[in-house]
Structure 1
Amino acid sequence: MKVGSLFAGIGGIDLGFQQAGFDVLWANEIDKKACKTYRLNFPDTTLFECDIRNLDASLVPKVDIISAGFPCQPFSVCGKQKGFEDNRGNLFFEIMRIADVINPQIIFLENVKNLVNHDNGRTFNVIHNELVTRGYYIRYLVADACDYGIPQHRTRTYLLAFRDIVQCEAYRFPEKTKLKQGVFDIINKSATVDCSFYLSENSLKYSKIMNAIKDDNQIYRFSDYGIQSGKDGICFTLKANMGTWYDRIPIIKDDYGIRKITPYECLALMGFPKDFKIADILLKNAYKHIGNSVCVPIIQQIANSIKT
């Protein structure tokens, strides 16, 4: 089955579908720096680098599945929650515009947990109705990544819309699994990293974080409410604001000092493989792109279930 990807970012959803054996034929992304990383990792996928509102659906190849991790900020509890009143929220209807032309068998959507409850459920009801009136049957799951093998609390809504009611009724989301690894099974505290990631021992932040670290096997970060700690070896949600406020990048105590985790360690905590490459872009952009991405193994499991 062939996939077309909207709001592709650096390709987390696309990678999950690829790993499950699907062919990602084309993708669309507006962020120029995210496109650099995407092209580096998906050289065989046609990338339409433009605003989705300018994407001519009649010019893109037909596919069996359209995937879209559309902007979550309008629906997130961390944002202003303007929903469809936010221009980014209205981009959902661009997905529908393109689907009307391509007529895929399946539409896969990913967004924040709050999508289901936003505006007392009215937002989700609009999405539901837009799909149902087009002849789709819907299944959805609200799931935390740590219940599916990734040591990160990242709760997201995953929605599948099927053209075939039999396929919809037969579909089963993957079962929860017991977490077998913690943060430091993924991040090697003995590995050497660039000294620029370490906090200066003379800095106020170093002093604050040093006093807050009660367990060397947890991960920490500065937040609006003070210093936040992981629990049970599970990382808190990696957010896009890692690229906006540098002190929002998670912090660990390793064998050499106290430091921020690197972009590649962030990728690892999102389930990206070791051979995934970040383009030559600013660190703040890399952190932002990763925070906006998805936990790849969950996408792979959901895609695998489509095949079966």
Structure 2
Amino acid sequence: MNIVAYATLLLNSCMVQLKQNHPNEKIIGDITKVDAKDIPDFDILCAGFPCQAFSAAGKREGFADTRGTLFFDVERILKTKKPKGFILENVEGLVNHDKGRTLQVILSHLEDIGYKVSYKVINSKNFGVPQERKRIYITGTFSKKISLDDFPLERKKLSDILEKGKPTEDSKFIRLLLSKFRIDELYGKSIKDKRGGKSNIHSWDLEIKGKTTKEERKLLDKILTERRKKKWAEIYNIDWMDGMPLTEEMIASFYPSKKLTSLLNGLVKKGYIVYEHPKKKIVENGVSYREYDTSLPKGYNIVAGKLSFEINKILDPNDIAPTLVAMDMQKLYVVDDGGLRKFTLREGLRLFGYPENFKFDINEKNGFDLLGNTVVVPVIKAVCKRLISSIR
């Protein structure tokens, strides 16, 4: 089969890694600027158009985002070159984007060229990779639809790919964590002031903003849970949002205490909660945003969000990793010999199924950025095998 390599994401760090591992492949340039007629004939097109336009982690603007229109360059090349088959990869959010209409546009455009198209959301955790990573794979040939079901099941856990005896980190925050929790108590814990139940460590558990009593922590946990309920928005007569400020009267309905006023004032002073107006939803020119509604009574709300510390989550070696994205990979930690450290780059490669001989001579930041945007090798390999066998 003929192999032709083009690229759109022309990051220097990415190009260096490509050349290191595939020195004989030519990097032609930006595919959006290439005339399809100038591309040599080839048998299979492999592409992944940028996921931010469809991802739940972004604004999900789809084709309204110029990055989302890269699909039409894929279509342009398929129309002109008509290769025997193709494989496309994107985030799971593409399935339901714009109530499924975006995916239907993509499928219909591919079918109009003459391809028999199949698609399926596949989770990498079933392919010997200890990572929860769901991606949609779209394949097509001129002869028949490709089955994307019943792949052989292979499971691994993090401990299968983690190295041992690597240097651990020492910082004020890590020392604080280890002073409050045993190392085994940290397995699988996220560090953020958001919902998550027992799987979360909150700022008040660590007493980041000041000492907290057992009763204060209990009250904060209750507010964190209750503020999500839609009944409070109905009482305020505003559109619901995930995290409503609650008046003292509202809080008293689920946390009756003679000391409630004192508890709330103390937590405001320490900075664990804020006293604020609820936010109303405003829509202008099709764009929605929220601003404080000063006509409504103030309430108490958690000072929420991921904390500005070097750790977002400590992974359980007996479990698998969550979906790894570029912005979070440097804030995921593992336990090693009683201490805490980040993934090594080699471990990062294993989480995406790269072979041990894959060269990755790159600094940590750029390396994690590339890994967070890469594909899972065993999944691509399995899908490609089926595609190739169907067109031979």
How high is the TM-score relative to the length of structure 1? Answer: 0.79
Could you report, residue by residue, the CA deviation over 1:181-231 in whole angstroms, capped at 9, with x for unpaired residues? 2111111223x3xx4xx432x422452377567648956665655644556
Q: Provide structure 2 residue ranges, at least 5 long, that are not aligned to the other structure.
A: 193-304
Task: State the Cα deviation string for residues 60-103 of structure 1 (Å, max 9, x = none).
Answer: 22111101011001100011111111111011111112222221
Q: Would the alpha carbon gap of residues 51 and 230 (structure 1) be closer, same or farther in structure 2, given more than 3 Å must change?
A: same
Alignment of 1:252-291 (within 5 A): 252-255=334-337, 257-280=339-362, 282-291=363-372
Percent identity of equivalent pairs: 31
Structure number with greater CO (CA < 8 Å, separation at least 6) is 1
In the alignment, what sits opposite 1:241? 327
1:1-308 aligned within 5 A: 1-2=1-2, 24-29=3-8, 30-48=10-28, 50-165=29-144, 168=145, 171-173=146-148, 175-190=150-165, 192=166, 195=167, 198-200=168-170, 202-208=171-177, 211=180, 215=184, 218=187, 224-225=305-306, 227-228=312-313, 230=315, 232-242=318-328, 246-247=330-331, 250-255=332-337, 257-280=339-362, 282-308=363-389
The separation in 1 between residues aligned to 2:17 and 2:333, in whole angstroms, is: 24
Contact 1:151 1:234 in 2 (8 A): yes
1:239 alignment partner AA? V
Q: Is the 8 A contact 1:183 1:218 kept in 2?
A: no
Distance 1:302 1:199, change over 3 A: same
Structure 2 residue matching 1:241: 3-state secondary structure: coil
In 1, the alpha carbon distance for the partners of 2:322 and 2:135 equals 13
Number of equivalences: 271
Change (3 A) 1:237 1:206: farther
Poorly superposed stretches of 4+, deviation over 3 Å: 176-180, 208-232
Q: CA offsets, 1:145-185, max 9 Å, x none?
A: 112221110000001022223xx2xx322525444421111
Over 3 Å counting, the alpha-carbon distance change for 1:66 and 1:149 in structure 2 is same
Q: What is the aligned partner in structure 2 of residue 12 from structure 1?
A: none
Change (3 A) 1:83 1:208: farther
1:271 Cα deviation after fit: 0.5
RMSD of aligned Cα (Å): 2.5
Is the contact made by 1:217 and 1:233 (CA closer than 8 Å) also made in structure 2? no
